[in-house]
Amino acid sequence: MREFSPQAAPVSVDVPLISNQDVYMNIAMIKEYHENMPRQEAERLAVHSLGRIGFEHIAYKRNPSLTFEERFGVMLLRAAMVKDAMILIHKPFELIPHLQDIQMITSMLETIDDLYVSCHIYDYKWMQEKYGEL
């Protein structure tokens, strides 16, 4: 059985997207840098992953032209590209301020659950009601 040594992969306002790179490059660079994945393959993987969460159309856009949801999705996929990723989502309602509950984020996480080992969400205690039964 393979032993996992999870690598922390944050999704946070403090870890922004690289604004002078296309969305797909923000995602693909993790695999390209750490696993030396060829550019075309990494690009395909990034675009396919964006498609899984319904954001394929933003692959060649840049950070400033994204909505809050799209930006969150890209940050999440970037984190998921880390090998044996332990995704750490820090204050998700700061990333998507108008979000009423955690539903959208959990469904995104479920859609890409094969890409990461574990996911932890950190937020203030007083935000608890937004998380419902989670």
Partner 1 sequence: MKTFWEKLGRAAIRIIEDSSDTIVFAGRVFVRIFQRKTYSSAMREVLVNQIYFTSVQILPVFIIVSVFFGSLLIGIVFTMLRDLGLTEFIGHVLMGLIVTELSPFLTVLLITLRSASAINTEMAVMKVNRELKTLETFRIDIVDYLLAPRVLNGIISIVLLSSLFSIVLLISGILFAKLIFGMNITVYTNIVLNSTHFSDIVLMLFKCAIYGFFITLIPIRFGLRASHELTSIPIAVSRGMVNVFAAIVIIEVLSLLIKLY
List residues near partner 1 by CB under 8 A.
Answer: 9-10, 14-20, 25, 28-30, 32-34, 36-39, 42, 78, 82
The nearer residue to partner 1, 14 or 110, going by C-beta atoms, is: 14
Q: How far is the CB of 21 from partner 1 (least distance, A)?
A: 9
- CB of residue 101 vs partner 1: minimum separation in angstroms? 28
CB-nearer residue toward partner 1: 5 or 36: 36
Please give the structure tokens belonging to residue 98: 């108008």
Tell the smallest beta-carbon distance from residue 46 to partner 1 (Å).
Answer: 12
Is the CB of 19 or the CB of 100 nearer to partner 1? Answer: 19
Q: For residues 11 and 76, is the Cβ–Cβ distance under 8 A?
A: yes
DSSP 20: T
CB 58 within 8 A of CB 68: no
Report how far residue 82's alpha carbon sits from residue 22's, in angstroms, rounded to the nearest whole number: 18
| Chain position carrying tokens 């996992």 | 4
For partner 1, the closer CB: 83 or 130 = 83
